[in-house]
Amino acid sequence: MKTTTVGLDLAKNVFQVHSVDEAGEVIVRRALRRRQVMPFFAGLEPCLIGMEACGTSHYWARELSALGHSVKLMPPAYVKPYVKRGKTDAGDAEAICEAVTRPTMRFVAIKSPEQQSLLALHRVRDLLIRQRTQLVNMIRGQLAEFGIVLAKGIQHMLRLVERLLDGEALELPMLAAKIMITVAAQVRELQGRIGALEKELKLWSRDNQVVKRLQTIPGIGIITASALAATVTDPHQFTSGRQFAAWLGLTPRANSSGGKERLGRISKMGDRYLRRLLINGMTAQLQSVRRHPDRHPWTIELLHRKPAKLVAVAMANKTARIVWAVMTRDEIYRVPQPSTQEAVA
């Protein structure tokens, strides 16, 4: 009996395998230790291997693809409906084996080591920024206890950090001043590390044509552009800009029945980091919209009816569709020209 399809449930040390033949009969149902995985699949003829897109999945996909197998990654949420009963590794492997053969299943493109390296840079930078925010909030809270209140904005805090580390005395008790200096030193160290990571990011993006094209879109800078270029391996897997926006979780939830359509809040089902970058970029872009309302009639009209945060999300949805068009057509963004009637008016 020839193995045609394998469901592989990934783990740290113990992996579960479920394989079937052309008739769907179970051939192998067993657990493998980590060191047994590659020898096991090396002994199989090329076949279809399904895995959930989770931690280490891209590594294993590359390794198994090198053996000649066809490897497909699936979102875990799309595999869950195929689990028959309780949560077990064997049940998960069987569900993966079933789901990977479905003609309507959606798959995740396998990332290269270079793409994963850039995404690691983004994740570490995001972590350091959150740690910096924690320290800044600590300094603000402690200074407020002594009647010192700083203006909003990270730039004001960074200036205070430099003043503290330069030995400038504040109206603080000696012990409190020592504590603030200790925390300020950590903030400056984190700021230096964040700057070093951003230099690496700019160096990687300097010769990347996709990043350069994405930066022509209003509201998208080098951080968002590089994150999109590293995450979206193959934009052609999406049939439309709306499907790409839905993948990012920026489209409304649909709850329709009996011919009545009801749209709710955005689904938030996609990549949280990319969605946040797009929404933050559009929030900043709103300042330009307010300064030049004649250039953004759609956004201004929406601002008259909806809160600014909701408008930023709507702009992110629209921008995601533009991103898809720019990536699939290998073109730069062109500002829409007014129609003839609008120009005459």
Distance, CA of 84 to CA of 38 (rounded, Å):
28
How long a stretch of residues is the chain?
Answer: 345
φ, ψ at 43 (rounded to 5°): -85, -5
Return the pLDDT at 343. Answer: 46
pTM equals 0.85
**Residue 345 pLDDT > 60:** no
Q: What angle do CA 246, 251, 254 make, to 5 degrees?
A: 105
Instruction: Domain 5-99: give its CATH superfamily.
Output: ATPase, nucleotide binding domain (3.30.420.40)
Distance, CA of 287 to CA of 291 (rounded, Å):
6
Return the pLDDT at 338. Answer: 61
Sign of torsion over alpha carbons 32, 36, 38, 39: negative
Q: Is 50 helix (H, G, I), strand (E, B) or coil?
A: strand
φ, ψ at 147 (rounded to 5°): 80, 15
From edge to edge, which strands make up the β-sheet containing 14-20? 26-33, 14-20, 5-9, 48-52, 70-74
Q: Where do the domains of the chain lie?
A: 5-99, 113-205, 209-329
Quick one: what percent of the chain has pLDDT higher than 70? 97
DSSP secondary structure letters along 124-193 = HHHHHHHHHHHHHHHHHHHHHTTT--PPSSHHHHHHHHHHHHTT---SS-HHHHHHHHHHHHHHHHHHHH
Residue 67: pLDDT band (50, 70, 90) is: very high
319-344 pLDDT, tens digit per residue, is 999 999 999 999 999 887 665 445 44
